[in-house]
Structure 1
């Protein structure tokens, strides 16, 4: 039986990929130090989260091994005598009854169950979340995304992944408050490794001698690249959008063909959204400070430093998009040659994606 089981449940866009990259690339070394990541890789933890959460469309594509992912991870935890870490941000958006069942499973596999939540300020999360949605196939323009988040339209799933107090309350039900840990992502300008050091402290892990630089390339997109992908998404017929195509876009097209096709440029948050973002952030910080959870870092770092300068994806020009599209087409080895119009370029990119997926 494990000594402690740590379940890292999110939030999305809070350095989760950075942390997971470091944990998995040092899997064997962490095991030697008494911390087990059960399963064979990140995919097992994603599959476990999908099963626990009930991601119907995704689970429908699973084979027998993936359907049993959660049970296998719990069994491995039960057979381990040290500490265990399971990590995926999709856990954050889980129905209450499924949360209770998951915590009960872990309680039967470890002497102590701990929940870990990492959180980042909304000023940085909002542009990053829109970009992530675009990688998943979203067609919604950036300005519309911000408006729907503000109004909570269409049961806006953004808040199910980003309402820090609500997620903590959900996953800490029945746990001693000291076993619910909130790790605050440092404010802009801090050393990148600080998040790693903070999470290591929660896990009781001595970071001496461990790597603090993830080996996987950062596949974040520039302003122009993200808007180009959104325009490509508009060309993909909805019946062809599938989990497999999404994996291809995220795992192959974005890092190999799209990233670096245009100059790097940060995202601005329009000034008309600043007040509600600050209000919502202040409410979250006040709730955290009034709680009994274990908070690592300064809750004040969840207050956003909003940029007044800069552009939004809606301000990208057709000329910039066409230039980036030509780079992408060249990298794809597209035939026929890159057309002179943006519409033509987007059609070729979308057709190439679908053809490559179908061939694979």
Structure 2
């Protein structure tokens, strides 16, 4: 039996790529220091989350051995005598029934089950979430995305990944409050490794001497680059969308060809949305304060900063888009040559 198992279930766009990159890069060192990441690679945790929540588009594509990965992770946990970490943001988008079943499995393999939720302020999450959806094939303009999220339309699924009180209602049920850890993403300008250090404190693992430079950059596209990709999505037939195409778009195309083809600009939340984002954030913080959870960082950092000046992707003009498209095509030709 493991001593403690930590399930890190998100939230999305809260530094999860950065943390997972470091955890898996230093997996051997962390194991020597008493923290096991079960499985062979991050994809095992992704597949496990897909199985737990019933993500059919992924599960249907798994081979027979991968369909048993959640049970393998639980078995590895049971065979380990120290602490265990399982991490993927897709766990957050699970039903209460699926979460309860997963927690019961973990409780059979460890003396203590802990939940870890990393949380970032909505003012920074919203632009990042729209861009992530565009990388995954979304066609919705930024302004319409914000309006949809404001209305709380279920089809966006935004709140399934970002409604922290709702996530806790599903995942923390039955867990003592001191075993539910909220790690607040530091505000802009904080040292880059502060989130890493905060999560290490929760996990109780010594990370002294471990490199914290990310290998897997997850930097934002510029507003013009993101808008160009959105327009490209509108001309790709929906029936041709696939998991493989999404991986290609997020990886080789967005990262290697599109990124850096236009000047960086602040990716802002329009001023007309500032009030409702602030109100929703204040409600969230009040609920979290009342929960008596273990909070690492300052919940006040979840209140968005004032509106920043800048453009939105909807304001990119055709000349700018053509310039970026020309750069991308030139890069493709050079790469092929």
TM-score normalised to structure 2 length = 0.97
Tell whether the 8 Å contact from 2:49 to 2:90 is kept in structure 1 after alignment: yes
Give me the whole-angstrom Cα distance separating, in 2, the residues matched to 1:265 and 1:65.
45
Give me the whole-angstrom Cα distance separating, in 1, the residues matched to 2:251 and 2:218.
12
Partner of 2:27: 27
Residues 1:164 and 2:164 aligned together: yes
Task: Give the 3-state SS of the residue equivalent to 2:65 in structure 1.
Answer: helix
Structure 2 runs not aligned, ≥5 long:
none
Tell whether the 8 Å contact from 1:4 to 1:113 is kept in structure 2 after alignment: yes
Q: CA deviation at 1:334?
A: 8.4
Q: CA deviation at 1:31?
A: 0.7
Partner of 2:259: 259
Task: Give the 3-state SS of the residue equivalent to 1:200 in structure 2.
Answer: helix
Structure 1 runs not aligned, ≥5 long:
336-360
Task: Give the 3-state SS of the residue equivalent to 2:4 in structure 1.
Answer: strand
Partner of 1:203: 203
Aligned residue-pair number:
336
Give me the whole-angstrom Cα distance separating, in 1, the residues matched to 2:245 and 2:65.
21
Deviations, residues 49-93 of structure 1 (Å, cap 9, x unaligned): 000010112211111122111111111111111111000001001
Deviations, residues 323-345 of structure 1 (Å, cap 9, x unaligned): 1111111122289xxxxxxxxxx
Give me the whole-angstrom Cα distance separating, in 2, the residues matched to 1:176 and 1:218.
34
Tell whether the 8 Å contact from 1:269 to 1:306 is kept in structure 2 after alignment: no
Give me the whole-angstrom Cα distance separating, in 1, the residues matched to 2:139 and 2:75.
40
Residues 1:139 and 2:139 aligned together: yes
| Larger RCO, structure (CA 8 Å, separation 6 or more) | 2
Task: Give the 3-state SS of the residue equivalent to 2:84 in structure 1.
Answer: strand
TM-score normalised to structure 1 length = 0.91
Tell whether the 8 Å contact from 2:17 to 2:218 is kept in structure 1 after alignment: no
Q: CA deviation at 1:188?
A: 1.4
Deviations, residues 86-143 of structure 1 (Å, cap 9, x unaligned): 0000100101110010000000111110000000000000000000000110000000
Partner of 2:246: 246
Give me the whole-angstrom Cα distance separating, in 1, the residues matched to 2:217 and 2:186.
21
Give me the whole-angstrom Cα distance separating, in 1, the residues matched to 2:241 and 2:233.
9
Partner of 1:279: 279
What stretches of structure 1 move > 4 A for 4+ residues in a row?
none
Partner of 1:339: none
Partner of 1:101: 101
Partner of 1:78: 78
Q: CA deviation at 1:169?
A: 2.2
Residues 1:50 and 2:50 aligned together: yes
Tell whether the 8 Å contact from 2:36 to 2:83 is kept in structure 1 after alignment: yes
Deviations, residues 253-277 of structure 1 (Å, cap 9, x unaligned): 1111111111111211111111100
Partner of 2:296: 296
Give me the whole-angstrom Cα distance separating, in 2, the residues matched to 1:217 and 1:290.
36
Tell whether the 8 Å contact from 2:274 to 2:307 is kept in structure 1 after alignment: no
Give me the whole-angstrom Cα distance separating, in 2, the residues matched to 1:134 and 1:274.
22
Tell whether the 8 Å contact from 1:148 to 1:156 is kept in structure 2 after alignment: yes
Task: Give the 3-state SS of the residue equivalent to 1:139 in structure 2.
Answer: coil
Partner of 1:344: none
Partner of 2:327: 327
Partner of 2:270: 270
Task: Give the 3-state SS of the residue equivalent to 1:64 in structure 2.
Answer: coil
Q: CA deviation at 1:154?
A: 4.2
Give me the whole-angstrom Cα distance separating, in 2, the residues matched to 1:272 and 1:14.
24
Tell whether the 8 Å contact from 1:130 to 1:145 is kept in structure 2 after alignment: yes
